[in-house]
Amino acid sequence: MHEPAWFRWARVIGLTLLGLFALAPVYVMLTSSLKPLPDVEGAFRWFPSHITVSPFVDMWSTIPLGRYLVNSIIVSTTASVASVVIALLAAYAVSRYRFRGRQVFSITVLSTQMFPGILFLLPLFVIFVNLSQVSGINLYGSRTGLIITYMTFTLPFAIWMLAAYLDTIPRDLDDAAKVDGSGPMGAFIRVVIPAAVPGIVAVLIYAFMTSWSEMLFASVLTNDSTRTLAVGAVLTPQESRSRDCRRLDGLWRFRFDPGGEGITERWWRGPLRGGREMAVPASYNDLVTDAAEREHVGDVWYQRDVWVPAAWAGQRIVLRCGAATHNAAVWAGEVQVAQHAGGYTPFEAEVTEHVCCGEPLRVTVRVGNELTMETIPPGVASRSASGRKKQRYFHDFFNYAGLHRSVWLYATPRSYVADISVGTAFDPGTGTGQVSYRIEAAGAGATSVRLRDAKGTVVAQGTGAGGDLTVPAALPWSPDDPHLYRLDVAHGDDQYQLPVGIRTVAVEGARLLLNGKPVMLRGFGMHEDTALRGKGHDDARMVRDFALLDWIGANSFRTSHYPYAEEVLDYADRHGLLVIDEAPAVGLHLSLGDMGDHGARTFGPGAIGTAAAAAHLAALGELIARDRNHPSVIAWSIANEPDTAEPAARDYFAPLVSAARELDATRPVCFANVATAPPGADVVTDLFDLICVNRYYGWYAESGDLSTAERELEAELRAWARRGQPILVTEFGADALPGLHSVPPVMWSEEYQAALIEMSVRVFRRIPEIIGEHVWSFADFSTAQAVHRPGGNHKGVFTRDRQPKAVAWLLRDLWRNDNQ
Ligand code: GCB
């Protein structure tokens, strides 16, 4: 038959497109990079910046990207085989038992399938994505999405194709197969399946391609920051009889990536070009001299070589990153081993298969600092008229970025202790302590624990993965005597030693009890912030900060506004500080003050929506998983100053509070309330155990008028007190430029700062429900450049280089007297 020319062309174009489509997975495999689409602002998003693939995460969580291909083949094959089996049975029924709607079925299938993909798939995709945004249910790029697409596309088409195929097999053959007594199923197996093999193969290929394209869509459109390929890291690396560590601090090769070329050009495949070096751990921002580099928005790359000790042969080798702010991907040699979102919690990946003991290993880390409406903390990046990428955010401290904490390479035996969680109880009446423990271990071997006192004497022991240890005449942990036991955990040949403080924390009425006794918290909201190093962890700064806390008589601090380095909590355990441990959820208030937009709504689609909520939940989960064994941590703070006057805040926070309680039922849960959500306006405080309030009467409110400020502060605190819950004032204070003096006290002078703090404390002492005062802030710190921030935020009681302002002496007198 004569084929018209247009038909030949259509066939060539069709086949070429099909070929390209089939090659798409190869493209992904070759580049091994999952690029996000750009953000498009607005409530209705034609293309979201990513599709959250959290339901896939469990499938992928343990599989490094290098094995993406194998993984997708396994998932796609399983899905296609399943759909072919279902389709074959349905097609047999359609073909052999004619039914009335057969033609309607054919027409429906053909009309949905034969539409050019772009016309049909794209609108469907946009609809799915928007429905997901609104409903919070992940319809695309999830298992649900996969099933829906199967139902709408693959299955009907496969049934239709196979039914047409089976129609060509004479029915007499079925009857012949039934002569010896077998039923329709027998005929199906003996005749239909063997005769339909070519059709089955064709449908299998079709189903496989469809399912793979599903996976591909989900992956290619996934912002890398939403997936955590590495297993979250919990146990801090340590040396023991069975473990060895290398801390990769020092100078790394370093390169800015303003054009976002690192991924496409695969910078991990060779030494980073450009000859720059960067200190680790440190923020890079204040170590450079170029303004655009200090304010860079996007990726930077770090790289170094490390010798993997020959003695580690046969061990399990792990690469761990203490904190990469705000998102990162890690390569061991050529293989991507980890990807992580969240700037203040550790992550790690086993790299045993990707290293050679006795040989050097090239470690490359891509660190991204961009904040979006789907990250925690949130932000918005845009381009200025000059073409520069700019980052806006809704919190006060400078958006420092880089490798902020140590990167480690460490080795454990193949069977190892993977995680430990302890809970403690103390009975002040009998003096008996309880330590309950749960061990997660991998590989063969027996698990056992021994609890030793400070002298090393075993006071209790147990076997197995979980249990309770009783310690008669226990020495409880407290700020006055931060007594620590040591839990020696063994699994197989592996050993891990965990410091344990036996203590209880409880909220009873309007009191906070530690070991059954009321405590008053005195201290600060702090920041990890110093000149040059920015947010990089620094033991020297830590030692000085704790020395000053001791000097001034503080017993407590809040890790405002993110989880601090693990070293800080270890130090707090040893030195008896009471810590409110905060998730990095700051700036969830899009209409606040100078940083926000007047009248902007915070929670909901187009603003802080389901993706941000998922990121928040993940950050909270990682915080609790990392810090739940620290006796110093007495409460979880879920967020700082969210807009809790907005009704939608309740639905946003309720699941987070439940998650925190589920993850750790032993500590109170709180958040720091903002001035725009006083009693009456706030819609969430009843969900929490403590009332924490940040109040700036005399500074942002009633500026310069301390007598009115005193009345208003007292009136508001008394209104909170009527709820009968304990109140912690998590922030109060005033900026003071070091060296600016004035009589009478006026704003910005050291005297005014002292007068405001003295007035506030006077009010607190009149209200019995107040269980603590945290001055904002411990030390001056760096902020984004802004007209109201002369060289940063100066609410520090200490200067940025940790010397006292006038108010420090006042607090010292006050708090040291309290302590006596
Ligand atoms: C706040 C914030 C804190 C700011 C502070 C200020 O309420 O929680 O991050 O630094 O006010 O000084 O404005």
Residue 60 has pLDDT above 60, yes or no: no
Cα–Cα distance for residue pair 81/543, rounded to 1 Å = 61
Identify which has the larger pLDDT, 209 or 691: 691
pLDDT band per the 50, 70, 90 thresholds, residue 400 = very high
pTM of the model: 0.76
Residue 792 has pLDDT above 60, yes or no: yes
Residues with CB under 6 A from ligand 1: 396, 561, 640-641, 694, 731, 776, 793, 795
The mean pLDDT value for 163-175 works out to 80
pLDDT tens-digit readout, 231-260: 456 899 999 999 999 999 999 999 999 999
Q: What is the pLDDT of residue 423?
A: 95
> What tokens appear for 408 in the block?
């480690």
Cα–Cα distance for residue pair 768/518, rounded to 1 Å = 12
Ligand 1 pocket test target in 728, 731, 781, 795 with most atoms within 8 Å of CB: 731
Atom of ligand 1 nearest to the CA of 593: 13
**One-letter amino acid for residue 316 of the chain:** R
CA of 800 to the centre of ligand 1 (A): 16
**One-letter amino acid for residue 508 of the chain:** E
Of 288-292, 419-423, 597-601, 765-769, least confident by mean pLDDT is 597-601
CA of 784 to the centre of ligand 1 (A): 13
Atom of ligand 1 nearest to the CA of 641: 8
> What tokens appear for 757 in the block?
């703090």
Q: What is the pLDDT of residue 129?
A: 57
Residue of the CA atom closest to atom 9 of ligand 1: 396
Residue of the CA atom closest to atom 5 of ligand 1: 396
Q: Which has the closest alpha carbon to 44: 118, 122, 132?
A: 132
pLDDT band per the 50, 70, 90 thresholds, residue 362 = very high
Cα–Cα distance for residue pair 319/321, rounded to 1 Å = 7
The mean pLDDT value for 382-399 works out to 94
Residue of the CA atom closest to atom 4 of ligand 1: 396
Residue of the CA atom closest to atom 7 of ligand 1: 694
CA of 560 to the centre of ligand 1 (A): 10
Ligand 1 pocket test target in 641, 644, 780, 781 with most atoms within 8 Å of CB: 641
The helix (run of H) or strand (run of E) holding residue 750 is helix 750-764
Residue of the CA atom closest to atom 13 of ligand 1: 396
Atom of ligand 1 nearest to the CA of 793: 12
Residue 65 has pLDDT above 50, yes or no: no
Supply the DSSP symbol for 762. Answer: H
Q: What is the pLDDT of residue 599?
A: 86
pLDDT band per the 50, 70, 90 thresholds, residue 183 = confident
CA of 523 to the centre of ligand 1 (A): 16
Report angle CA 612, 618, 624 to the nearest 5 degrees: 135
Mean pLDDT of the chain: 85
The mean pLDDT value for 207-213 works out to 71
What's the gap between Cα 383 and its chain centre?
27
CA of 373 to the centre of ligand 1 (A): 20
Own/partner pairs for 27-30, CB < 8 Å, 24+ apart?
28/68, 28/69, 28/216, 28/219, 28/220, 29/68, 29/69
CA of 615 to the centre of ligand 1 (A): 23
CA of 9 to the centre of ligand 1 (A): 66
Own/partner pairs for 114-119, CB < 8 Å, 24+ apart?
none
SS3 assignment, position 713: helix
Q: Strand order in 494-500's β-sheet?
A: 458-463, 447-452, 485-491, 494-500
Residue 500 — φ and ψ, nearest 5°? -130, 130
The helix (run of H) or strand (run of E) holding residue 343 is none
Residue of the CA atom closest to atom 3 of ligand 1: 396
Residue 677 has pLDDT above 80, yes or no: yes
SS3 assignment, position 649: helix
Q: What is the pLDDT of residue 217?
A: 55
Query: Which residue stretches of 372-416 are H helix?
Result: none
Atom of ligand 1 nearest to the CA of 735: 12
The mean pLDDT value for 595-619 works out to 90
pLDDT band per the 50, 70, 90 thresholds, residue 212 = low
> What tokens appear for 779 in the block?
């030390």
Peptide bond into 631 cis (omega under 30): no
**One-letter amino acid for residue 468 of the chain:** D
Supply the DSSP symbol for 701. Answer: B
**Rg value, the chain, Cα:** 31
Ligand 1 pocket test target in 732, 776, 789 with most atoms within 8 Å of CB: 776
Contacts of 469 (CB under 8 A, 6+ apart): 434, 435, 436, 437, 449, 451, 460, 461, 462
CA of 396 to the centre of ligand 1 (A): 6
DSSP labels for 122-167?
A: HHHHHHHHHHHHHH----SSSHHHHHHHIIIIIHHHHHHHHHHHHH
CA of 159 to the centre of ligand 1 (A): 62
CA of 783 to the centre of ligand 1 (A): 10
Residue 266 has pLDDT above 60, yes or no: yes
| Residue 718 burial (10 A CB sphere; 0-12, 13-18, 19+) | middle
What's the gap between Cα 245 and its chain centre?
25
Is 747 within 8 Å of 704 (Cβ atoms)? yes
CA of 682 to the centre of ligand 1 (A): 19
Residue 697 has pLDDT above 50, yes or no: yes
Cα–Cα distance for residue pair 677/692, rounded to 1 Å = 12
Cα–Cα distance for residue pair 798/784, rounded to 1 Å = 20
Ligand 1 pocket test target in 694, 753, 780, 800 with most atoms within 8 Å of CB: 694
> What tokens appear for 374 in the block?
């789907």
pLDDT band per the 50, 70, 90 thresholds, residue 579 = very high
pLDDT tens-digit readout, 443-499: 999 999 999 999 999 999 999 999 999 999 999 999 999 999 999 999 999 999 999
Atom of ligand 1 nearest to the CA of 674: 7
pLDDT tens-digit readout, 278-330: 999 999 999 999 999 999 999 999 999 999 999 999 999 999 999 999 999 99
The mean pLDDT value for 218-230 works out to 38
SS3 assignment, position 219: helix
Residue 39 has pLDDT above 60, yes or no: no
Catalytic pick among 716, 731, 750, 769: 731
CA of 456 to the centre of ligand 1 (A): 45
Supply the DSSP symbol for 259. Answer: T
pLDDT tens-digit readout, 78-130: 767 777 787 788 888 777 776 666 777 776 666 655 544 445 555 555 565 55
Q: How many CA atoms lie within 13 A of 318 on its CB side?
A: 27
Is 523 within 8 Å of 554 (Cβ atoms)? yes
Kindly give the interhelix angle for 566-575 and 539-552, rounded to the nearest 10 degrees: 30
Q: What is the pLDDT of residue 418?
A: 93
Q: What is the pLDDT of residue 221?
A: 43
Atom of ligand 1 nearest to the CA of 700: 13
Q: What is the pLDDT of residue 69?
A: 54
Of 50-54, 457-461, 590-594, 791-795, least confident by mean pLDDT is 50-54
pLDDT tens-digit readout, 541-557: 999 999 999 999 999 99
SS (H, E, C) 571-640: HHHHHCCEEEEECCCECCCCCCHHHCCCCCCCECCCCECHHHHHHHHHHHHHHHHHHCCCCCEEEEEEEE
Catalytic pick among 528, 641, 710, 773: 641
Q: What is the pLDDT of residue 192?
A: 80
Cα–Cα distance for residue pair 26/42, rounded to 1 Å = 34
Residue pointed to by tokens 């302890």: 422
Q: What is the pLDDT of residue 4?
A: 67
Q: Which has the closest alpha carbon to 758: 806, 694, 691?
A: 806
SS3 assignment, position 770: strand
pLDDT tens-digit readout, 502-518: 999 999 999 999 999 99
pLDDT tens-digit readout, 703-757: 999 999 999 999 999 999 999 999 999 999 999 999 999 999 999 999 999 999 9
Residue of the CA atom closest to atom 6 of ligand 1: 396
The mean pLDDT value for 779-805 works out to 96
Q: Is 641 a catalytic residue?
A: yes
Residue 208 has pLDDT above 60, yes or no: yes
Atom of ligand 1 nearest to the CA of 781: 10
pLDDT tens-digit readout, 145-167: 555 555 556 677 778 788 888 88
Residue pointed to by tokens 């062309």: 9
Q: What is the pLDDT of residue 525?
A: 98
What's the gap between Cα 615 and its chain centre?
5
Residue 63 has pLDDT above 50, yes or no: no
CA of 732 to the centre of ligand 1 (A): 9
Residue 61 has pLDDT above 60, yes or no: no
CA of 390 to the centre of ligand 1 (A): 22
Q: Which has the closest alpha carbon to 725: 681, 774, 666, 684?
A: 684
Q: What is the pLDDT of residue 490?
A: 97
Cα–Cα distance for residue pair 105/111, rounded to 1 Å = 10
Supply the DSSP symbol for 695. Answer: -
Atom of ligand 1 nearest to the CA of 395: 9
Q: What is the pLDDT of residue 222?
A: 39
Report angle CA 31, 34, 39 to the nearest 5 degrees: 135
Q: Is 622 a catalytic residue?
A: no
Cα–Cα distance for residue pair 383/717, rounded to 1 Å = 43
Q: What is the pLDDT of residue 440?
A: 92
Atom of ligand 1 nearest to the CA of 640: 8
The mean pLDDT value for 195-222 works out to 69
CA of 587 to the centre of ligand 1 (A): 10
